Structure 1
Amino acid sequence: MFNSFDLLRQGFGMFKDDWLTRLKSWPIAIAIIFLLPFDLAAQTPSATEYQLKAAFIYNFTRFVDWPPSPTPRSNTAPFVISVLNEDRLADRILELVKGEQLNGRPIIVRRLDNRSEITNCNILYVSVRDASDMKNQLTAINRRGILTVSDNPNFARWGGLVRFFKEDNKLRMQINIEQARAARFSMSSKLLSISSIYDSK
């Protein structure tokens, strides 16, 4: 019988050969993304930084519980991932979610060019530049049931929920758990265990 490390090591080898197929068809690939450190400098060209971020965002649908929907209709509406001014990331996410559903809801990706286009969505990735301009709006956006994500170094401090960052040339996450709970998001202990927790004190 394999131990957990053997499973992850085996899955990692398969993942490198076909990251998209393995992520969607083999459950252990989900664990690989969250538990194995990815050295961005050492990955093959197919496993780019955008692909890794897309994989994290895709798996938020499995490791995060959203606040209760205010109306019955929103429980059957598409699950929307909006990406503001980062088309290369949107392309990678679109590859992952094509044909996918979340509890019977089709998962769709919307590319946004302007902050005024932010309407009803479930996950919102914000470019570094736009995050700076939106720093006073993030808390209000979270409380609309939108999981906010960005690479901006100050994102968690401004009230954003998930920040991507590099540490020792590896992709990591920082989570503002205080703001997440205030907005009624529930995050899996598996997700929290491999993330840096933002401390506002």
Structure 2
Amino acid sequence: MRFSCSALLVCLLLLAAPPVRAQTTAPENQLKAAFLAKFTQYLEWPATAFTNADQPIIIGILGTDPFGPEFDERLRTFKTDGRRVEARRLRRVEEAAGCQIVYFSASENENLKFHLAALSKQPIFTAGDHEDFLNFGGVLRFWRHGDQIAFHIKSEALRAAQIKANARLLQLSRDPSKPR
């Protein structure tokens, strides 16, 4: 996957901007949705993650949807490397086949460990908020630092999923256990 200079600049501006203050759940979820969409531009999946060159990048949302129809509207004209990006609501983890990203909503916390184990051998970028998300095998955890939203990417899980990430994206990853 080639990262165009203009696309990289746009994402860097978005990600390097001062942290957005998350005062309520709705703005926090809108920010997470924006991150998930932008992440598609800085990730490279193995060829086996797609059945053909025209297949869209699918962001699956497992459990109760915190993003709403605004997320679909945001994605309506969004493209990454010529591929459309679409959201899909998932009721069961088995429906994640064909997704490139799966966001685990809080409603799935009870079964999180089992769900992540079921997807562990697939090229799926998993994201969630649960405190143990990375310990259970997830790739990216969103977390709050005061009133800011940050994310932490576990490189080992990324490699296990056979997904490559742009180095700048990895540099923006913040481990909540290590103060900056």
Instruction: Give the match for residue 98 of structure 1.
Output: 76
Q: Tell me which of 33, 38, 45 is aligned to 1:54.
A: 33
Alignment partner of 1:69 out of 41, 48, 52: 48
1:121 aligns with 2:99: yes
Higher relative contact order (CA 8 A, sep 6+): 2
Look at both structures and tell me which one has the larger radius of gyration over its CA atoms. 1
Task: Confirm or deny: 8 A CA contact 1:177 1:197 kept in the other structure.
Answer: no
Q: Displacement of 1:198 after TM fit?
A: 8.3
TM-score (norm 2): 0.81
CA distance in 2: counterparts of 1:30 and 1:152, whole angstroms: 25
Give the structure 2 partner of residue 134 of structure 1.
112
**4+ runs deviating over 4 angstroms:** 26-29
Tell me, in whole angstroms, the C-alpha distance in 2 between the residues paired with 1:61 and 1:70: 13
Name the SS of the counterpart of 1:54 in structure 2.
Answer: helix
Once the two structures are superposed, residues 160-179 of structure 1 have per-residue CA deviations (whole angstroms, 9 ceiling, x without a partner) of 00110100210000111111
Higher mean alpha-carbon deviation, 134-143 vs 30-39, is at 134-143
Gaps of 5+ in 2: 1-6
* Structure 1: gaps spanning 5 or more residues: 1-25
Shift in alpha-carbon separation, 1:52–1:62, aligned structure 2, 3 A:
same
Aligned to 1:40: 22
Amino acid in the other structure paired with 1:33: L
Secondary structure class of the residue paired with 2:113: coil
1:164 aligns to what?
142
Identity %, equivalent residues: 28
Q: Deviations over 1:124-167 (max 9, x none)?
A: 01112314403134255143111101111110000000110100
**Partner amino acid, structure 2, of 1:38:** V
User: Is residue 2:174 matched to residue 1:193?
Assistant: no
Verify the 8 A CA contact 1:39 1:169 in the aligned structure 2. yes
State the aligned residue count. Answer: 171
Q: What amino acid maps onto 1:37 in structure 2?
A: P
TM-score (norm: length of structure 1)? 0.73
Aligned equivalents of 2:65, 2:160: Cα separation in 1: 30
Equivalent residue letter for 1:39: R
Whether 1:151 and 2:129 are equivalent positions in the alignment is yes
State the distance in 2 between where 1:150 and 1:114 align. Answer: 16
- Looking at structure 2, the residues matched to 198 and 141 of structure 1 have their Cα atoms a distance apart, in angstroms, of 24
The alignment's C-alpha RMSD in Å is 2.8
Query: What does residue 182 of structure 1 align with?
Result: 160
